[in-house]
Structure 1
């Protein structure tokens, strides 16, 4: 039996897609100091005899057996094959077929990025759309610890196209994004899903990000959790927990929650499952600091990519919400540094949410503010708002195809250079007019309109009797919104401010001509100088 001495990352498989117009990185492990070679062939060349490759390269493994073979870029193309082999050994090559070059995006985050297409509100309509063979998808196997391999559903660990049933268990927002971008760019598009429901951003960073205050809070909490725990005991309890977590029984019971349950149904579910096994924080918990970076993301480095889609933050609300900008910016800087590539990040701001199972939305307003701060501070980081797509009793909004459309608008405008309206409206100033109204001016507000519902504007006064009340009237004037205060509210007695959707649960339907809803804000009201 022929055996290969080369081990490649799990996503190096037939049907894969490489990033166009960037260096090609082929890497893995082999015997120490082994001479590794790679050849790309076009569809009309003979791969079997390694004749006339269109691109070839060589590299030597280091003393530990790791190798990195770098080749010059190729343009967008399809129907290639790739052979990777050890020279001068007679060992048969690893042959990968149906290879394409295009743009690759990583779809990262927690459950709202992982959210399967089959749960989407528009799944039936999407299922009737023509299939697009130019979209390549891959779900990174979810691995909580070294040796953990059972937490995977169908569609994990291999490349598939739009006509494969595995698309039903692929990220809905990422799939929608891919359809939009492929149509606009006209090239093959690859999406690598690298996500896990319930994960903190602290699980997706290398340890150096968490070593300094205030982010060392995450490491200290982990150390406190495991300090007095026997390693054998935590292993036994954890593996028992994973046996349950990975079981078909658990998946069947949990699935109705993702389709959507009323609050009453959720309370019944919690009562019925209150004795289910749990996996304690420790070396077998998927959400431990740095765990998913080490077990999942690191395998993708330094594979060239176009950029990252990031939908996460729910698990970092609550007490730690005020440091989320530091955590998210630390993640972005670390990924870019370790990839040695300043690729773009496209962020989804958290949707409105009240309570779901035992979760609540405490700190969501702060996380949204920190997401916007990160996007406005770091280069090539862009944010889209979805304050019109939430649900009070469901942490998983069901209109994920629309989320993907909004991410695609960001990419088309900021990454692919299309002259389109692609950003969510953003308030830039609020001032008190001579008529006693408040004028709020917006950027990215062409075609500003009220959308399909009301928007939660509030006027706030300070002083002895602080008040927060809705305006008596809201009027849109081009790219401005004019707010009329109620007669009972005086805006002249002290400092005042205006907010839109700046609460843990609030709705915003104010939108621009591209159907992008305004970002939440709270701004001081400026008075005209005399």
Structure 2
């Protein structure tokens, strides 16, 4: 007799409290099958003709030691030891994938960072296996309690976020489902059906991909794969990138390596073996956990979508709605805006990142249950991966407390809610803010243009949640103002709320027509 469960169902897993618990899998048992949690009334499992089964258990309170039992003909045929608590999905690309061992604080004082794990810490994580194609042998795939031995290869953001949540939710198990892959566009995390349902996304991702496949000679792609395999298996590759991610390679050294020792870099070309093929990682990773209940999702992604920044709102909206529909659960989506940077090893730059941030902000305005935070005060000029991962974890934590747990005020990044010009006084008012705080950076990142020509101004005051700026002249007929805040490729934030959360970058217009 066999019961086959999804990989995520195993001993030590954490199930979401206060939500119905969905259990699914496959069995060759022909007799009636039941599932029972602890001593609750057994629930009969609906088995389809092909052996697939599905059952939903009633919502449960938190528990540190429960048994999930599968019963056939009055006998227990399989048992799993489970916990019930708060489960978060942490997902995205390299900044969410970024291991604790590369974190700035960990590099400076490993023992101090690991000492955050206390005896009473009740945090476990599950890494969704990183499979580009279904046949890949992948790491991850097991539920593990966080320990000093495994923490360094866990997501740094997940580590700091999970420990903070564990401290405030004492005696409640915390589970983090970690699903990330470096260098990926959101299109690979979105289903084929969702991409095809939007004509813009279909043309940009599905149609263009099939055009590539149809017009490229197969032998050319095979040759490319051989080159990539040689690059990936270069014995100098891993230690080199360990040092890069840990911030031990200077910008100049990295640029020189890219042009003079390109064998240390792994090139990417779109194709059947690419993690960025449309709906690729949806098929091999996302689909494996659909139905597993979460309290919410932390999403840190967007860096690899800069080439199509103008439609990122379409893509991110499609992904979120797709996941909500497939989970049949409108779980909160907490988004980190991409961090500012100027240049990375001479081949990537942050030119289109202001537009990506704008699109991220627009999506949070449009979709209920989607919230925004940022690290606009902590980007690195020559690195796409800020090393201080405690900061984004802190921002995610405050956002979760504010919007999900309702126990913290103004945990979301402040946004402009009104811009009013009265005579020569410009008033910009922000939400998610009781008291604005400015620093010396503000004068370098706030620009006001009249009919496209920069204005000089220096009279800036703060009154509660309003920025007040005195302009040198009144606006006359047919003149307009453009107010730009933190629209540079690389900059540091100059405006914060009382909780030290940076204001969302913005562009606003006022016309006197």
Q: Same fold by TM-score, threshold 0.5 exceeded?
A: yes
TM-score after normalising by structure 2: 0.90
Taking a change above 3 Å as real, the CA distance of residues 523 and 285 of structure 1, as seen in their structure-2 partners, is: same
Match of 2:143 in 1: 159
Alignment match of 1:475 (pick from 461, 477, 493): 461
SS at match of 1:373: helix
Match of 1:356 in 2: 344
Aligned-residue CA RMSD in angstroms? Answer: 2.6
Match of 1:49 in 2: none
Alpha-carbon distance in 1 for matches of 2:176, 2:454 = 45
SS at match of 1:227: helix
Alignment match of 1:11 (pick from 8, 11, 30): 8
Alpha-carbon distance in 2 for matches of 1:178, 1:454 = 33
- 1:35-46 equivalent positions in 2, closer than 5 A: 35-41=32-38
Is this contact kept in 2: 1:310–1:345, CA < 8 A? Answer: yes
Match of 1:209 in 2: 194
TM-score after normalising by structure 1: 0.87
- 1:397-412 equivalent positions in 2, closer than 5 A: 397-412=386-401
Matched, 1:459 2:448: yes
SS at match of 2:492: coil
Alpha-carbon distance in 2 for matches of 1:307, 1:470 = 45
State the Cα distance separating 1:371 from its structure 2 match.
Answer: 0.6
SS at match of 1:383: strand
- 1:102-501 equivalent positions in 2, closer than 5 A: 102-123=85-106, 124=109, 125-131=112-118, 133-150=121-138, 152=139, 156-186=140-170, 187-211=172-196, 212-216=198-202, 217-229=204-216, 234=221, 237-238=224-225, 241-242=228-229, 244-245=231-232, 249-260=236-247, 261-275=249-263, 278-318=267-307, 320-357=308-345, 358-434=347-423, 436-451=424-439, 453-454=441-442, 456-462=445-451, 466-469=452-455, 471-485=457-471, 491-492=475-476, 494-501=479-486
Matched, 1:83 2:80: no
Q: Provide, for residues 209-232 of structure 1, a one-character-per-residue CA deviation record: whole Å limited to 9, x for no partner.
A: 211321011112211221134557
State the Cα distance separating 1:330 from its structure 2 match.
Answer: 0.7
Taking a change above 3 Å as real, the CA distance of residues 6 and 367 of structure 1, as seen in their structure-2 partners, is: same
Taking a change above 3 Å as real, the CA distance of residues 419 and 437 of structure 1, as seen in their structure-2 partners, is: same
Moved more, 260-269 or 363-372: 260-269
Alpha-carbon distance in 2 for matches of 1:376, 1:499 = 19
Is this contact kept in 2: 1:496–1:525, CA < 8 A? Answer: yes
Alpha-carbon distance in 2 for matches of 1:316, 1:104 = 28
Alpha-carbon distance in 2 for matches of 1:65, 1:273 = 53
Taking a change above 3 Å as real, the CA distance of residues 236 and 303 of structure 1, as seen in their structure-2 partners, is: farther
Q: Provide, for residues 23-60 of structure 1, a one-character-per-residue CA deviation record: whole Å limited to 9, x for no partner.
A: 1112122338664433333xxxxxxxxxxx33533324
Taking a change above 3 Å as real, the CA distance of residues 37 and 313 of structure 1, as seen in their structure-2 partners, is: same
**Runs of at least 5 residues in structure 2 that lack an aligned partner in the other structure:** none
Is this contact kept in 1: 2:114–2:148, CA < 8 A? Answer: no
Taking a change above 3 Å as real, the CA distance of residues 130 and 174 of structure 1, as seen in their structure-2 partners, is: closer
State the Cα distance separating 1:378 from its structure 2 match.
Answer: 0.5
Alpha-carbon distance in 2 for matches of 1:121, 1:451 = 24
